[in-house]
Structure 1
């Protein structure tokens, strides 16, 4: 499932990065988005064909806690995005969403019993903060650098999921 989720979301972030990047980045962002999506689709296939295997979300209480964290994440990210757009700061929506996504992985560590989610959280939070400064320096939308950074991080975790699947 890591491969499926992180691959598909990496593709989404690379897609968001295409909002206003440097012109010569577009081809590479498209390739990264497509490749991430293929990795995600392979992850979906592997997940479906191994559906019978137990997972961290097999227990009802754990699944309930997972849903609570995800709903909170969507709510907080959505409210923040709405307020940023309303206050004519839409260029900060991508870093805001990446920040909230990063923070939510801290909470999900206990759900999935996976300490590597702390690293994922730290990397996404770092991308969200650094992107605001680098985007100005490179004269691109915040979403360009945020999307590239988040896409790369999530793609790496999709590959980590594949490695864990092979080694299991």
Structure 2
């Protein structure tokens, strides 16, 4: 993400790097032919990004943050609401025996939850990420509806790719702006 707060930007890059590994890992539930190696490589790249920027976060923890403005509770509330939607949707899907839709549903809830974070972190790129992720998930819905494979194959891969792109762009901006601070 691209924000005026160095720690917040480094934290987002690190977290999104971790999310790259998580989402590519979830996509391995039912990977497409010949895609497992790409998913592994993507996960490894995500973990490298997470570690590199996690060090920056740790070394700069006492620097200013958008959360200092007192709206940290919105971040917590957003996370709780997202978790309730994920859980409620998973229960609904389980009752309806639509297990293969878990990946898509969780991805959709995660993608939507980034929109309100624009106000928490004072960073409009969260909205861009949310719109891109939701649009991709909506566009793949008809294809997934016709498919026999798990929705995680496409939905989780999509989130992995978008998190990788977002963390890479944000990392480049960060390194141009700050270098690699110690």
TM-score (norm 1): 0.90
Aligned to 1:6: 16
Aligned-partner SS, 2:163: helix
Structure 1 residue corresponding to 2:40, chosen from 1, 22, 30 = 30
Structure 1 residue corresponding to 2:141, chosen from 113, 132, 150 = 132
Question: For 1:73 and 1:98, how far apart are their aligned partners in 2?
Answer: 11
Aligned residues between the structures: 167
**Higher helix proportion:** 1
1:41 matched to 2:68: no
Aligned to 2:84: 75
Please list every run of 5 or more consecutive structure 2 residues that lacks an aligned counterpart in the other structure: 1-10
Q: Which moved more, 1:76-85 or 1:146-155?
A: 76-85
1:105 matched to 2:114: yes
Aligned-partner SS, 1:23: coil
Question: For 2:85 and 2:78, how far apart are their aligned partners in 1?
Answer: 11
Alignment RMSD: 1.7
Aligned-partner SS, 1:118: helix
Aligned to 1:56: 66
The CA deviation at 1:155 is 1.0
Question: For 1:62 and 1:152, how far apart are their aligned partners in 2?
Answer: 29
The CA deviation at 1:96 is 1.1
Question: For 2:94 and 2:46, how far apart are their aligned partners in 1?
Answer: 29
Aligned-partner SS, 1:22: coil
Aligned-partner SS, 1:58: helix
